[in-house]
Amino acid sequence: MTETNEHEVNSDFTMNFGPAHPGSGNFAIKVEMRGERVLKATADPGYLHRGFEKLMEYREPMQNSVLSDRVCVLEPLQWNLVHAEAVDYLMGYEIPERAKYIRVIMAELSRIQSHFIWYAVLSLGTGFMTGFNISIGYRDYILDVLNLITGGRVYPAGYICPGGVRKDFPAKAENMIRELLPKIDYMRKFALKENPAWLARFKEIGVLTKEEAIKFGATGPVLRGSGVATDVRRDDPYEIYDELDFNIPVMDEGDAYSRFKVGMLEIEESMKIITQALDRLPKGEVRTPTLKPIVKFQQAKGELYIRNEVSRGEGAFYMVATGQKTPYRVKIRGPSFTHMIPIVEHLLTDVDYADVPAIYWSLYQCPADVDR
């Protein structure tokens, strides 16, 4: 695990943070140390590289829809949505109104459960096992609902598909979601309690200024934690987000705590979105009625860069269609790609080794969408 470093004059030895570290995910950072101090860090991705972009060039959109789950394990429904929107645009599908509402509800539930995992790994990284256990426990209530609606607890297997969603809500789904909201609220309040040990670990650690955040391509809670009020749902609205009323939480400090707090405040906004969408949920079809399970992608021509606000920030698909059965080129932009390579290398210079987990997990990493 450690090796003495004879080439670098400044550092004593190099150490691997991950990929076998509990909670680091399938990701590693090589840190050059001098005593307890980290001098320099180099990100080492690639443990989860499955080559989705190439795989999608060999598969038809309905198959890709299932594949898009796997772009990020922790927020599969949102990646379903980005993929579906790209195909919808290229095929010129009109999405039924009810499907748009269901898509938004599912995406927001997925965002909340992903934020719970964030709180869980932050707790795990700083030795607060109670936080981890409670958070993962409360996440399971959401997974039960996802299981009822999509048939899969974690992977929905392309529930949000081109043309709408696969199936309508089962009869008791609406009630179950409404009953779920107070539980989410309890967990949210628990996470926002200002625990002194928690503050000591995260306050004024890993400060990313506003200018740096924009230059390094930060998005989502990381960017909003550095004082930039932007959200793809507001600035580049998709589905029905422009009709809904919600706020964008922003913090100016730019440290690990402010990034985390922005994420937890977002849960309340997601709850507002879900409530509004449930109240207005129209009746009707949930998929374009003429659509057969196979998307006739030969009819599609053109290209599009579609952006969505996934839990971690800006998730995007660049899809080029040239009249073949399969897309000609697919490019996936994962938000963690910029967070976990340039930003983590920038923040992990000249810090204490004890702060590495706090900084690392405050960036809300998902190794799966770095590698794709």
Q: If binding is defined by CB under 8 A, does position 240 make contact with another protein? A: no
Q: Which residue has the tokens 């391509």?
A: 217
Q: Say if strands 313-322 and 160-161 run parallel, antiparallel, or are unpaired.
A: unpaired
Q: If binding is defined by CB under 8 A, does position 248 make contact with another protein? A: no
Q: If binding is defined by CB under 8 A, does position 329 make contact with another protein? A: yes
* Cβ proximity to another protein, 58 vs 186, nearer residue: 58
Please give the size of the binding site for another protein, defined by CB under 8 A.
36
Least distance in angstroms from the C-beta of 269 to another protein: 20
| The two structure tokens encoding residue 19 | 């990929």
Q: If binding is defined by CB under 8 A, does position 325 make contact with another protein? A: no
- Which of 74, 307, 312, 360 forms a contact with another protein (CB under 8 A)? 307
Distance CA 318, CA 101 (A): 24
Distance CA 163, CA 285 (A): 11
- Which of 320, 325, 326, 353 forms a contact with another protein (CB under 8 A)? 320
Q: Are 306 and 239 in contact (CB under 8 A)?
A: no
Q: If binding is defined by CB under 8 A, does position 153 make contact with another protein? A: no
| The two structure tokens encoding residue 281 | 């949920």
- Which stretch of DSSP H or E encloses residue 314? strand 313-322
Q: If binding is defined by CB under 8 A, does position 220 make contact with another protein? A: no
| The two structure tokens encoding residue 222 | 């990381």
Least distance in angstroms from the C-beta of 85 to another protein: 12
SS3 364: coil
What does the DSSP assignment read for 205-260? -S---HHHHHHTT--HHHHHTTT----HHHHS--TTGGGS-------SS-SHHHHH
Distance CA 185, CA 191 (A): 10
Distance CA 278, CA 361 (A): 33
Q: If binding is defined by CB under 8 A, does position 183 make contact with another protein? A: no
- Which of 26, 114, 336, 338 forms a contact with another protein (CB under 8 A)? 338
* Cβ proximity to another protein, 53 vs 285, nearer residue: 53
Q: If binding is defined by CB under 8 A, does position 60 make contact with another protein? A: no
By CB under 8 A, what part of segment 78-107 binds another protein? 89
Q: If binding is defined by CB under 8 A, does position 342 make contact with another protein? A: yes
By CB under 8 A, what part of segment 185-214 binds another protein? 214
Least distance in angstroms from the C-beta of 148 to another protein: 35
Nearest C-alpha neighbor of 347 from the set 43, 25, 116: 43
Q: Which amino acid is at 248?
A: I
Q: If binding is defined by CB under 8 A, does position 328 make contact with another protein? A: yes
Q: Which residues bind another protein (CB under 8 A)?
A: 45-46, 49, 51, 53-54, 58, 89, 214-217, 219, 228, 230, 235-236, 304-305, 307, 314, 316, 318, 320, 328-329, 331, 333, 337-338, 341-343, 345-346, 371
